[in-house]
Structure 1
Amino acid sequence: METQSRTQFDENIDVVDQEKPDGIVRMRMRRNKKKSIKQQFLEGFEKFNRISKEVKERERTPVEKIVWLLIFLICFSYCGCLIWKSYWKWMKSPSIVLLTENSESILKIPFPAVTVCPERKIRTSVFSFEEYNFNISEYSYENLTEKEQQMYEDMLMICDWSHTEIKGRKFSKANETVSNIRKVSPKLSNVIQLCKWNGKLRSCSNMFTTIFTETGLCYTFNTIGPVDMFRIDKLNSDYEYMPNLTRTRIKNWTPQNSYLLNAPMDHTYPERGSGAGAKAGLKLILSEDIKGMDPDCKGMISGFKILLHHPTELPRLTQQYIRIPIYEEVTIAFKPKKIVTSNGLRMFPPERRQCYYTGEHNLKYFKLYTQTNCEFECLSNFTYARCDCVHYSMPHGPDMNICSIGSLNCTESAEFELSMLNINRHLDHGSGNVTAEEAIRIADDCKCLPTCTSITYETEISQLELDYQNKYAYRWKGFKMSKSKLSSVVIFFKHALFNISKRAELYSTSDILASCGGLLGLFMGFSVINIVETLYFCILRAHRQRKNRAKDQEDSHEEVVQDSMKKY
């Protein structure tokens, strides 16, 4: 009976509802839909933040609500600080250099360029300070002709006279200065007596070529020629830094990809060693005339300087060198150090990854970018800005003056100022063709970073004293060594394989997401699903409900219009 009465009651309700106007029914439906949207949004918000749900519960006391709020704020603040530290570290230093597990053969990289400079630079048969009968303290030109004065000042450019103040002309003619230095310098055959390369005797004149450096005329092996190193059209045409020989042109090698796969051993340039050890290296016998070289140029210093550098770099022997004493054999075993860079760092600017990819930073005077070449070009531009001239060994344009002995103090000060600009952003107003502010801007434009693929050579040196007591009995091909001071140098790869370091991302995209997501999940219970739910309940679902309501309103309006038309 109860079931029957309930059924009748439901039927009566249906009858009553059917008797009501359609507008009232639709209004109730819309109210139910509005209520459901509100309930669904609250449900989504409760799922998104459990802490908020706990705080909103009515049975919680005010103290509990405050405690939960404080916990929420502390977790939120601490999580934000950790995320900011991770992001700042990613932005400040995005790269890290790691030692890879792969090793590479020394046959895939060039043998380093070797530059040799004698300390005794002036042949007494051409120029002698003693013959000028000069009193340095009084420094008078009364007994010298103009040509002799210029010759004397040019010799001071390659000698060590830093202990006294020398006055003279500020500028010189580039071709005359270089020509005078070339005249007085010892010949290659008198400096390097024997050359042994890859276990075979070679002609030193075919292996070495002359090159001008800050210390005067030197001799270099395995350095690429000027056509491949310089932008000839941008350089001065008064003199050459080195002879343009065909054998010094690049063959079967590129700085980026190293040697070609099918490149033969004997027809490549720069040269590459045939293996590790002294037998596969370079051996040199260096000599210095006992009576034929002027002793006043360098004072008590004797012997030689040697620099190992990359074949694409212009040597600077005032910065780094290895001292080769007389009557000693010096063994130089070196280990290559190669750094490559991951392609994932291309998205970062060079200042953040701390290197340049090929083509990112071009130089004005050099075709091939290296950090050393960039610093040398930067020094040349800065010296010209401060002194209105450059040193004869610096790469420069055709309209730049060459500094003489009168500008020597200025050039030395400019080099010191450039090195100190990173610490002290201040320059004194002095002579030159630009203001101090413009000189600072020129220095800031340098931005000399390493290349993203670079090779350096770390050396280990050992020395052994020669038996010079029996030097009078030593002869080589008829050359009597008793007239010369001898030194022996052996340069070679220490190992047949070398390790590669890789500059990679400290934080990749997945790493930074994992770090931030882990912190949010640990402290806030936050996940990607929460984001999707929030978007869904706050935006997508609300938008869909709004569209449905608008459609219902349109349908109800059409039905009302149709009903009214039927009545009429």
Structure 2
Amino acid sequence: MFKVCRWDGEYRKCSDIINTILTDEGYCCAFNKLPVNYSLRNYEEFANVYPTRIIDWNPEDGYPKRTPRDVYPFRSFAPGQNLGLSVVLDANLNEYYCTTTSSIGFKALLSTPIESPKMADIGMLISPGEEIRVAIDVDIEDATTGVAGIHYSKRQCFFARERKLRFYRIYTERNCRLECEANFTLMRCGCAPYFLPRDQSTKVCGQKTESCAEESKYIIERYSIERLKCNCLPACYEINYMAVLTTVGKIKKKYDTVEEKFKGNVTAEYFAENMAVVHFYFSIDKFQKKTKSEMYGFPEFLSNTGGLLGLFLGFSFLSAVEVIYFLCLSNVCRYVTRRYSDKHKPRSEVVVYPYVN
């Protein structure tokens, strides 16, 4: 399916940067997805190829300081199409297989390297015979340390250390919902769908239980009562990717990629009908982030209290010093003075005049 791959301005062998993952649409190809054992507990990895150095990345900790450029998951260091990911996809319409949609083409989805994608529900549709640009915008959210002291029901988010999942190593809202769907389906149907995490003793849903699994998915997504039982709040540290698709138009029959990379293996007519050229790149190099913090922390409480006292009582910092002095220091000073005066008070002596001859 992948004919040409270019990343960070260099053409790469697609099998070196594209790996296979299991989704609700079956086996899909993924770029920059961490190995399964980095996102799931006690799961074996497929026969994928990864670079020698892999960072145990998550949204809360990010990358260590002074991380080299060539570590996995990869990072884009500048915006623009030339330094992003560009791929040429072959739909091979003559041997097209079944799909969950009525259209012919591909599906793409943006997610973090530790999340399991839901291709059937939120995947973007890409048609063959077109060149498409996908400009990526990023929504970053984090939290201050003061928020950790507030109960999660009030701050409405979980830190990674607070919410432990059974199958996923790192907590995200999407991972939590997938695990909840697996548990709910297991409770109602006695099995779990093939694409959801499960233990070795759990049966995989087959044709007899497919309708029950679909109904369980509908219930868990449709009714808020069942979703509340999952207790899947957003993560306090979260990264969301938003894509803006721009269709350049139909591919011309004399496309540059045919001449440069295919070297006559396919005709220009076949390329124009079956191939899709897709460019993924960041639109800008700086993104704003939203920080969750307490509305009234101790500094805000102290400043507001001082402002109110100063407004209604004429209170100031000098007044606080005077109050402390009169309540504490003045009593201490009087006590010390009294002790000193009692100790050095002159005693009354009887003067005996000598006899005078």
What TM-score, normalized to structure 2? 0.78
Over residues 242-294 of structure 1, what are the superposed CA-to-partner deviations in whole Å (9 max), with x where a residue is unaligned?
4464538733755433222222112x111001311111100000111131224
Match of 2:170 in 1: 368
Query: Which of 1, 4, 15 pairs up with 1:205?
Result: 15
Trace 1:547-566 onto structure 2 (pairs within 5 A). none
Match of residue 402, structure 1, among 181, 204, 213: 204
Structure having the higher helix fraction is 1
Q: Is the 8 A contact 1:223 1:248 kept in 2?
A: no
- Equivalent residue for 1:220? 30
Secondary structure of the equivalent of 2:211?
helix
Shift, 1:444, TM fit: 4.9
The amino acid of 1:259's aligned partner reads: Y
Q: How does 1:44-443 map to 2 (within 5 A)?
A: 191-232=1-42, 242-243=46-47, 245-247=49-51, 250-251=54-55, 253=57, 255-266=59-70, 268-294=71-97, 300-422=102-224, 425=225
Match of 1:447 among 224, 228, 231: 231
* 8 A contact 2:7–2:84 mirrored in 1: yes
Q: Which of 435, 447, 458 pairs up with 2:242? A: 458
SS in 2 for 1:344: helix
Report the CA distance between 1:216 and its aligned residue. 1.5
The whole-number CA distance in structure 2 between the counterparts of 1:465 and 1:318 is 25
Which amino acid in 2 is paired with 1:318? A
In structure 1, the partner of 2:337 is: none
Letter in 1 for 2:277: S
Q: Report if aligned partners of 1:252, 1:260 keep a CA contact under 8 Å in 2.
A: no
Aligned residues: 312
Runs ≥4 in structure 1, deviation > 6 angstroms? Answer: 513-523
Q: 1:414 to 1:196 in 2, by over 3 A?
A: same
- Whole-angstrom distance in 1 between the partners of 2:219 and 2:304: 44
User: What is the CA–CA distance in structure 2 between the aligned matches of 1:282 and 1:360, rounded to whole Å?
Assistant: 35
Q: One-letter code of the match for 1:264?
A: P
Q: Aligned with 1:257: secondary structure?
A: coil
Q: Distance in 1 between matches of 2:142 and 2:228?
A: 26
* Counterpart residue number, 1:493: 282
Gaps of 5+ in 1: 1-190, 426-439, 534-568
Structure-1 separation of matches of 2:52 and 2:26: 21
Whether the 8 Å contact between 1:225 and 1:249 is mirrored in structure 2 is no
Q: Percent identity?
A: 28
CA pair 469-518 structure 1, distance change in 2 beyond 3 A: same
SS at 1:309 equivalent = coil
In structure 1, C-alpha distance between the alignment counterparts of 2:7 and 2:29, rounded to whole Å: 16
The alignment partner of 2:293 has SS state of strand
* More divergent stretch after superposition (397-406 vs 489-498): 397-406
How many Å separate the matches in 2 of 1:219 and 1:337? 24
| Counterpart contact for 2:35–2:45, Cα < 8 Å | no
AA in 2 matched with 1:399: S
Q: Give the aligned CA root-mean-square deviation in angstroms.
A: 3.1
Instruction: Give the structure with higher Rg (CA).
Output: 1
- 2:331 is aligned to none
Unpaired segments of 5 or more residues in structure 2? 324-357
Query: How many Å apart are 1:320 and its aligned residue?
Result: 1.5
* SS state at 2:66 partner: coil
8 Å CA contact 2:181–2:220 kept in 1: the answer is yes
Q: Which amino acid aligns with 2:147?
A: L
| Alpha-carbon distance, 1:445 to partner | 4.9
Are positions 1:508 and 2:297 aligned together?
yes
Alpha-carbon distance in 2 for matches of 1:392, 1:226 = 15
Look up the equivalent residue of 2:69 and give its one-letter code: M
d(CA) in 1 for partners of 2:87, 2:74: 16
